[in-house]
A and B are shown apart, each in its own frame.
Chain A
Amino acid sequence: MNPLPVLAGAAAAWGLAALIALIAGASRPWTRACCVVSGLGGAAALAGGAASLISGNSRVVTAGGSVVVGTLQLQATSLAGVFVALLGLIAVATAAYVPRYHEPGRGTGLYLAVYNLALLASLAVLVAGNVVTFLVAWETMALLCYLLILRRPRRAEVAAGAFWFLALSETGFVLIIAAFVILAAKTHTMQLDGIAARAHLVSGGWRDAAYLLALTGFGFKAGLVPLHVWLPEAHPVAPADGSAFLSGLITKLGVYGIALFGFWLLPGGPAWRGILTMAAGAVTAAIGILYALGERDIKRFLAFSTIENIGIIVTAFGAAMTFWAYHQRLLWAFLLLAGLYHVINHGSYKTLLFLEAGVIEHATGTREFDRLGGLARRMPRASVITFVGTLGIAALPPFNGFVSEWLIFQGLFQGFRTGSHLIAILIVLAAATLGLTGGLAIYAFVRGYGIPFLGMPRTRQAAQASEARQPVAGPALLAVACAALAVGAPVVLAALARAMRTVTGVSLRPELLPGNLTVIPAHTKFSGFSPTWLAVFLLAITAVPVLIYLAGRPRAASVTGPVWDGGIVAFKPRMQYSAMTFSAPTRVTFDALYRPSVSLRRASDDPAGRSGPVHYETEVTPVFERYLYRPVIRAFEWLADVVRPIQSGDVNLYLFYVFAAVLVAYLIAAL
């Protein structure tokens, strides 16, 4: 079947939702209506994405047409289908979340309008069939996201965060244009599949240039280190569903762009291209999780964890390209598949976590780890849902993160198949980095879940938190998705594998899935496991002790008493690990990266040795902002000062500028 009509329906729904929100979004019932429509659109997108996965590349639909902007061309590819489906899932979950999260009002109306348009623009990016459509949609999407972040423009940090986003996004946009222009110029076509078909005409140098420009340009959006700085700035200031959208989808659009160039427009390429991509990914993953461990704000923490996951995905892509260069087409296709599966998984649980972060913020009025605690007792629903997401993102079975990361690892471990020792070592090195990342991720999310939800409340707000009238359905839906994507992994992977054949031309079906719900990393006789049966098994072994306990309870006499506290007068909330003390070991181990600064005030420094209040602060230095971006910014300010004299305000002078510009243009054309 042709997915485009379905997607058109989704687009229409979102347009309508935007209209409703714009006109009557201020009132609660209309807000609900808008969300229902938007949710329907999401469902349509989900269906469309699935359809395009099933049907493979659909034909191009051309509409309109003018000499200036070219034609509007749409095309549902199976590569984009993955992202479209994710877009749909996120849209549905968010639609269920919004009505309880946003208090009705004019601002909400506008916000929802912008949000639905942003959904529309993102869809357009994904179904864009030619360069112009893609670029226009991309820029629209960026601007709309900028407005999303500006939900509360009064506050300074909001403006700053939004500006970080816009600045980096535009910088990246320029590079993306350049990449497309190179390809379009060398292949004499603006159509994406045309470019893909004629890519062999482009000389190696230009191919590499185009790819590097694309990697960097999309890297800004995806959040590759050191192009990641906008995420921790923009995520905390946007509303919860806004940041969920940014993390869940917008960063993935960057990944889509990289995949677009690396696997479809310019497949293959020299080994170093893959190695470079892989290295960028590995570094991003490690740095991302390390900074996450240094964070005190839940949303900044989640933003850094997003950077980590993007790193994992890009590592998989880079390794895939490397394998291509060594004629390991099977692994090439397999790692692309694993990466895309991780895209879906991360999209689901990261959205979940951001939505729950919003719940926590509304229930307690803070996002600071060290002002929370003991929420599991006060907010059981939120804690269960968050726990599912946490297990997923910490890549622990039986949830989905484990499956995709396992696949990626299995792919990397087969680096030896390249036949080159150096390459094999490099790939295994990347695998080791991801190993470190995975370990730290578990550490980080033990902290990320334990500090807010376990222990005793650290502040009065946390002690009085209540989840009554807090959104549930949206996150719960995503939690179910997390479980389904794990248990049903073989099925999903099978569908993906078949769909990707249209991109890679490699059939993974028999190698990947010999049946009986087992997954094999491309090559049989290497390894393999069954996520489904693992989940069943885990449930079984957890059930056994529970059953024994339930069976034994009537007979066993038990006395419930207070916790043994060493006989102190009373426990104080201060007597439990805080977020920063919990991650102190990493701060000590990696202090070269963190460059932590410590400020300490204590009464016992008094020469008489009196004891009393202590205050201990430690701050992590934002290395990239300080040592990379600040100089650049200074340089631009300097440049601005230099060129200011040109703007004299004299009309004749400006006319002369125009004349000179035209002259130069002619000269260039003449040569």
Chain B
Amino acid sequence: MTAIQRDLAGRDPGLAGLLAALGQDGPAAGGPVITADVPAGRLEDAVRRIAARPAARLADVFASAADRGDAVILRLIWGLDADHAYLVTESVIEAERYPSLSDIAPAAFYEECEIYEQFGIRPAGTKPLNRVALPPIADCDLPRLGRAPAPPPADVHAPHVVGGHAFEFPFGPVRQVGVESLYYGLVTSGEEVVDLYLFTWHKYRGVEWRLQGRTPRDALFHVERTEGLGAVGPAWAFAAAAEAALGLAPPPQAERSRAIALELDRLYNHAAATAALCQSTGLVIGQAAAEIALERLLRLNAAAFGHRYLFGVVDIGGAAAGPDAAALRRDLPGAYGELRRAADALLSTNSFLDRLEATGILSQEAAARLGLVGPVARATGLPIDVRADHPASPYAELLPEVATADGGDVLARFRVMLAEAAESVRLIEEMLGAGAGPGRAEPSGGAGGAGSDAAASGLGWAESCRGEALAWVALDDRGRITRARLRPASVRNWRGFDDACRSQNVFTDIPIIEASFWLTVAGTAR
């Protein structure tokens, strides 16, 4: 994860003040990742200070068991996009309760629920939590990352009761053909969608628990299979985290090889999303056109990297496979041309556009509040793109241009995806020019950068096809994982889905909205 180093001088001086307020000395905060220890007592104040900062978003919240006793280490990851840095605050929580973060930064709510289920500590206040991963079975004794919560009191989980004249339309978990299992509780007044909630616990596989005790390379195998559609982004984030922990610097051609894989990943996912949009709007013939493009892109992946879904490209410390440059140069224009033609035809088909326009509108305020990322956020006008905000090599030199749109409706998302696809093609051609191939940086000296917890933990990120993918890894001195945190973009963007579905939309719009979000359940129920 050799991100280009920026020094404090290049940054907004306000940051130094903020860090000082957090008790940080300036120089230590040089790199793209700033770590700050915040005592539990001052956590609330610190969150207020950081949240008040412009272009500071709460990217992730997670906990890990401390070495001693029942204490829990609460980590908040802030994306300080204007400062091109991530800020990681660590707080040791001894008590059962900790300051309610979601009251200050609403984006933290989902993670608060996760942490309750995994570590048995819950935010202060009486607001109920939601069920995230644990199935609603009376004696559910799934292994936890930490201590299991006490038998939950009645007020922990908000009951999904429907009152008055609305009724709940149950949809799933076994839904249409060829889609993932997901349960919608669709509350409707008969015409419009009054409310919508999701259950994903029936796909929860405890991946983070699974990774504990494995070597990073062994774990990478499971990370790639956590979210198979768009596997490169999370894999890269995880590998980057491990590299940061191990102090590895992948060779440039390997980084370019990863980046090419990432852009190919983006291409085929946006093609698949286009096909799904056509399907949801009943435009079968357009779906066929998009699927031709999709299949050709997948075959291009196979020709270039040996796997249709680009598994096994990313490796700890580099790339296990390099692109077949000849095949890419030969087939990419044709495959992308298919997508381009299909998209142009779609954008001139009014019956299609009418279904997309003003459907599933998501306000910029909501996107920012809920901490959404990727095309969904960019379609509301938020220019969040890790490739530009936190450029890890090789993106620092490439300067990808961030595609945004206004309106936040399905059409806006569609346009953003198309623009990104075009940009990806440009990036791939540029990187092919610079040369890409396999390669791996071997750990210098003893594996696992023998040492203290700080040295053996790292944060990694990548702009997956769905947006910012984050990973945080802590290794023990034998180089085995003690705690791995995976945060694919799906985890973030699902929480905007019900917002987009609610109110002015009717039943038939929901598949369209789902297609335009193009998320996976596997990614959020990991």
Contact = CB atoms under 8 A, between A and B. Distances in A.
- Is A in direct contact with B (CB under 8 Å) within the complex? yes
Given A581-B190, A614-B187, A566 B170 contact: yes
B143 interface: no
Nearest to A565: B170
Nearest to A588: B191
Interface stretch (A408-416, A493-501, A569-577): A569-577
Contact of B109 (A582, A600, A608): A608
Interface string B495-512: 110110010000000000
Nearest to B129: A610
Contacts of B102: 608
Interface stretch (A11-19, A299-307, A537-545, A615-623): A615-623
Interface in A543-597: 565-569, 571-572, 574-578, 580-585, 587-588
Contact of A581 (B110, B183, B188, B197): B188
Contact of B190 (A568, A574, A582, A617): A582
A361 interface: no
Interface string B357-377: 000000000000110000000
Given A611-B195, A612-B158, A614-B194, A604 B502 contact: yes
Contact of A609 (B171, B188, B498): B498
A630 interface: no
B136 interface: yes
A613 B163 contact: yes
Given A567-B172, A580-B190, A611 B130 contact: yes
A584 B189 contact: yes
Given A565-B170, A566-B171, 8 more contacts: A567-B172, A574-B162, A587-B190, A602-B195, A603-B158, A609-B109, A611-B158, A614-B166
A582 B197 CA distance: 22
Interface in B163-184: 163-175, 181, 183
Contacts of B185: 611
B160 interface: yes
Nearest to B497: A609
A462 to B, nearest CB: 15
A598 B189 CA distance: 10
B161 interface: yes
Nearest to B181: A567
A568 B163 contact: no
Given A607-B369, A609-B106, A616 B168 contact: no
22 contacts: A566-B170, A566-B173, A567-B173, A567-B174, A571-B170, A572-B168, A574-B161, A574-B168, A578-B166, A583-B190, A587-B190, A609-B106, A609-B496, A609-B499, A610-B127, A611-B160, A613-B163, A614-B161, A614-B162, A614-B195, A615-B164, A616-B194
Interface in B126-175: 127-130, 136, 158-175
Interface in A236-278: none
Nearest to B502: A604
A619 to B, nearest CB: 9
A467 interface: no
A612 B130 contact: yes
A399 to B, nearest CB: 29
A370 interface: yes
A612 B127 CA distance: 11
A641 interface: no
Contacts of A587: 190
A581 to B, nearest CB: 3
B225 to A, nearest CB: 23
Interface of A: 370, 565-569, 571-572, 574-578, 580-585, 587-588, 598-600, 602-604, 606-618
Interface of B: 102-103, 106, 108-110, 127-130, 136, 158-175, 181, 183, 185, 187-191, 194-195, 197-198, 369-370, 495-496, 498-499, 502
Chain B CB within 10 Å — which of A567, A576, A617 has the most?
A567
A610 B109 contact: yes
Nearest to B109: A608
B414 to A, nearest CB: 24
Closest 3 CB pairs of A and B: A584-B190, A612-B158, A581-B190
B348 to A, nearest CB: 32
A585 B192 CA distance: 10
Given A612-B160, A613-B159, A568 B170 contact: yes
A609 B501 CA distance: 13
Contact of A612 (B136, B159, B183): B159
B163 A616 contact: yes
B168 A575 contact: yes
Contacts of A616: 162-166, 187, 189, 194
Given A574-B168, A585-B191, A613 B173 contact: no
A370 B158 contact: no
A371 to B, nearest CB: 12
Contacts of A575: 167-170
A370 to B, nearest CB: 7
A588 to B, nearest CB: 5
Contacts of A571: 170
B182 to A, nearest CB: 11
A599 B164 CA distance: 9
Contacts of B181: 567
A612 to B, nearest CB: 3
A405 B230 CA distance: 64
A82 B345 CA distance: 70
A583 B190 CA distance: 8
Nearest to A612: B158
A598 B167 CA distance: 15
A621 to B, nearest CB: 15
B158 A574 contact: no
Contact of B370 (A567, A576, A609): A609
A397 B171 CA distance: 37
A610 B107 CA distance: 10
Contacts of A581: 165-167, 188-190
Given A584-B189, A607-B106, A617 B167 contact: no
Contacts of B173: 566-568
B421 to A, nearest CB: 30
A574 B169 CA distance: 9
A448 B499 CA distance: 35
Contacts of A370: 165
A98 B53 CA distance: 77
A571 B170 CA distance: 8
Given A566-B173, A585-B191, A612-B158, A604 B498 contact: yes
A617 B189 CA distance: 9
B167 A609 contact: no
A614 B165 contact: no
Contacts of B175: 566
Nearest to B163: A615
B183 A568 contact: yes
Given A609-B109, A611-B197, A617 B170 contact: no
A614 B167 contact: no
B155 to A, nearest CB: 11
A617 B165 contact: yes
A582 B189 CA distance: 9
B165 A578 contact: yes
B140 to A, nearest CB: 13
A426 B369 CA distance: 59
B444 to A, nearest CB: 45
Contacts of A599: 164
B167 A566 contact: no
B161 to A, nearest CB: 5
B469 to A, nearest CB: 21
Most buried by B among A571, A583, A617: A617
Contacts of B109: 608-610
Q: Which of A574, A587, A599, A611 has the most CB of B within 10 A?
A: A611
Contacts of B136: 569
A206 to B, nearest CB: 52
Contacts of A582: 190
Contact of A613 (B161, B169, B172, B191): B161
